Amino acid sequence: MISTLDLRKKYLGASEATDEDMEIVKAVREFVEREIMPRRQDLDGGWNRDEKLARETFEKVHQGLVDIGVQRAIWPENLGGLNVNPVASEMLVEEISRGDAGIATHMGIINWVMLPALRAGRMDLLEKFAPIICDNKPHGCCMAITEPSGGANAEDPTQHGRTIQTIAELDGDEWVINGHKIWPSGASVADITYCVVCTTDPKLGDEGVALIYVPPDADGMSFGKPFEKMGMCWTDTNTEIYFDNVRVPKENRVAGPGEDVKILHDIVGYGRLGTCNFALGAAQACFEIVLDWTKKREISGRPVRARSLHAAILGEMAQKIESARAYSMQISGMVRSGLYGLPGEPFLLSKCSAAKEYTCDITIWVANKAMELMGSYGYAFDYNVEKYLRDVKILQLWLGGPQRSLLDTALGYYDFEW
């Protein structure tokens, strides 16, 4: 069977990724096959949801991915990285997600959290964080956006930051942060930094929105108990975060009034587009599982997949996965080109949001069809499809969920306010 790696190489051509980039992608694919695929159930804690087993497995797999360069892949060589092409980095995410979307999430959050500093040209911050990211130890970051009172309000460009209730007040050379965040990946376990979306004054609207990097050991920052979820049970940690007079240096604010809000919408756009690679990895895994199962399972002496009804369903699964992959690659190319503006501006935010919604819908459809083709085996723990279905639901729901994505898709075509 042609691999995801081969398909992307065919579509992209040699100009998009170097031979060195592809060697790293190949190494990751081989690692996933060797070290993650046999441990997918252990990462989930087994049937009994054994936390000790899950944590130990996660640590081993995480370290292995760090050892082959995933954590430092996209960083420039002068900062200790491997300078992997952005296209190849998308392949890395899909390949890891093919094994486990939670691990891909944990590692991907680091680069996402660094985007605001990169977008603002804050080399002082990047030079501070890069040596940690590019060392040989596993690390984590956290992007704290969502609040209990408003859900996806902070991501909504039409609300202009007025509903954000995490407040940052300037006191001399320090920001003093008070508030409450909920659901961010990496909460309580991030050891590099927390990028916190807050406001200097809700009445200022967009002008008040501030992005501030908070050290993981900051006094006054505390965490709730990790949420018990149906998917990504141990690979992605989500808790509430409480800020009680948390003081951080003034220079930890990413940009300034009117600029931080633009960066916020950019990271939402990047995050939604990046979600496509996580979802595609899971969809590809489900497809590979059901292809193998329908080859070995028989109906009246012939493989299930040799029957026309089942073959047609498999063909439709392949068609939908490839259409979602092509769609996300098209939008990714538009973002990288720089010809269409920034990903937080209405035109590209619309495209990024539509790609996320479409790809997540396709992935959930593929997982459901895999279950239908496999019958009772499809929802049995031992066959892994049910794990992918549980895991991918969080991909569909984060960053505002499908409805928020659809609203932002519409905003690319006409303006409206609440």
241 close to 166: Cβ distance less than 8 angstroms: no
**CA angle, 51 as apex, 45 and 52 as ends, to 5°?**
105
Tabulate helix, strand, coil % of the chain (nearest 5). Answer: 60, 10, 30
- Rounded Cα gap, residues 119 and 271, in angstroms: 14
The CATH number of domain 4-99 is 1.10.540.10 = yes
Beta bridge partners of 253: 212
- The 10s digit of each residue's pLDDT in 118-130 is 999 999 999 999 9
- Residue 209 one-letter amino acid: V
Higher per-residue pLDDT: 19 or 210: 210
The band of 48, judged by pLDDT with boundaries at 50, 70 and 90, is confident
**Average pLDDT of every residue of the chain:** 94
Architecture of domain 142-252: Beta Barrel (2.40)
pLDDT in tens, 78-111: 999 999 999 999 999 999 999 999 999 999 999 9
pLDDT for the residue numbered 15: 43
Instruction: Place domain 261-410 in its CATH homologous superfamily.
Output: Butyryl-CoA Dehydrogenase, subunit A, domain 3 (1.20.140.10)
pLDDT digits (tens, 9 = 90+) for 273-329: 999 999 999 999 999 999 999 999 888 889 989 999 999 999 999 999 999 999 999
Instruction: Tell me the C-alpha distance between 328 and 332, whole Å.
Output: 6
pLDDT tens column, 327-375: 999 999 999 999 999 999 999 999 999 999 999 999 999 999 999 999 9
pLDDT at res. 3:
58
Host H or E run for residue 196: strand 194-199
What pLDDT was estimated at residue 301? 86
Beta-carbon contacts of 115 under 8 Å, excluding residues fewer than 6 positions away, are 263, 266, 267, 270
What ranges do the domains of the chain cover? 4-99, 142-252, 261-410
Q: Which string of b and e fits 223-256 if b means at least 16 CB within 10 Å?
A: eeebeebebbbbbbbbbbbbbeebebeeebbbbe
Residues 148-161: tens digit of each pLDDT: 988 789 999 999 99
Q: Has residue 408 got a pLDDT over 60?
A: yes
pLDDT at residue 12 in the model: 40
Query: Whole-structure pTM over 0.75, yes or no?
Result: yes
- Phi then psi for residue 146, to 5 deg, are -70, 145
Please tell me the distance from the alpha carbon of residue 316 to that of residue 370, in angstroms, as a whole number: 11
Q: How far apart are CA 409 and CA 346, in angstroms?
A: 8
How much is the pLDDT for 1?
54
Question: Contact, 356 vs 278, CB < 8 A?
Answer: no
- Closest by CA position to 255, among listed 209, 215, 216, 214: 209
H/E stretch holding 66 reads: helix 51-67
Percent of the chain, pLDDT > 90?
89
- Where are the extended beta strands (E) located within 42-182? 142-144, 167-171, 174-181
- For tokens 């919604």, what's the residue? 357
Whether pLDDT at 218 is above 50:
yes
Q: Are strands 174-181 and 167-171 parallel, antiparallel or unpaired?
A: antiparallel
Contact (CB, 8 A) for 32 and 288: no
Mean pLDDT, residues 173-198: 97
- Domains 142-252 and 261-410 equal at CATH topology level: no
